[in-house]
A and B are shown apart, each in its own frame.
Chain A
């Protein structure tokens, strides 16, 4: 069972609406990732950060996507103005270290449907 908790499991939004997803990483994991998995099982890295600091993010993320991991609060990923192409499973993962071990612990995801 995953110890990375994502909420909500499902959300449905209209185009142009905000969509917000939350993630509680595994206890003691300071590094958090957000990935987008589309219906074709293609994964797209969105952003990662360590504690509250952004490590890397893709260009798309900088325009409509925002993410944060405030101290003592769940991490979040927000899409400011949802588009149909944003419909996907959004996966949060955490890691003990940002060193190159790659062993990520994934949540079950938040499935976004944009009508």
Chain B
């Protein structure tokens, strides 16, 4: 079975600092990996995806993520962080045979303080 783990429920950092949100996955085959963001009162919004190819993928809003097969991780990064990045972030995995059905992690709530 596939699973996604986001070990940090909450992350707080200062504006201008570098952010890195952790995500690890479990899947026996090649995964498709995604990051979504949920701002307060808004819907989930797509940030970026890794399908194949370059291990560093760039997305919207200045975010990027690095896929590391060696430790089954797909961490989200941005530098510098801005207060408007405060939101809940979800990592997700799509098994290659699942018709776009996503398995989500528990989410990381990010607070960027001035």
Contacts and interface: CB of A to CB of B under 8 A. Distances in A.
Interface of A: 2, 4, 31, 33, 40-43, 45, 48, 55-56, 91, 93, 95, 97-109
Given A42-B106, A103-B49, A98 B100 contact: yes
A97 B99 CA distance: 9
Contacts of B100: 31, 33, 48, 95, 97-102, 104
Interface residues of B, number: 25
* Contact residues of B: prevailing secondary structure: strand
Given A56-B99, A97-B100, A101-B51, 10 more contacts: A33-B100, A33-B101, A43-B102, A45-B102, A91-B43, A95-B100, A102-B34, A102-B92, A103-B34, A108-B43
A43 B92 CA distance: 10
A55 B99 contact: yes
Residue among B51, B102, B103, B106 facing the most chain A CB atoms (10 A cut-off): B102
A106 B56 CA distance: 25
Interface of B: 32, 34, 36, 41-46, 49, 51, 88, 90, 92, 94, 96, 98-104, 106-107
A65 B102 CA distance: 20
B43 A102 contact: no
A102 B102 contact: yes
Contacts of A43: 90, 102-104
Interface centre among B45, B88, B98, B103 (most CB of A within 10 A): B98
A48 B88 CA distance: 24
Contact of B32 (A56, A95, A97, A102): A102
A42 B41 CA distance: 17
A94 B17 CA distance: 35
A53 B52 CA distance: 29
A46 B94 CA distance: 15
A45 to B, nearest CB: 5
B3 to A, nearest CB: 12
B46 A104 contact: yes
Which A-B residue pairs are the 10 nearest by beta carbons? A43-B104, A106-B44, A2-B43, A102-B94, A106-B43, A41-B107, A108-B43, A98-B99, A55-B99, A45-B101
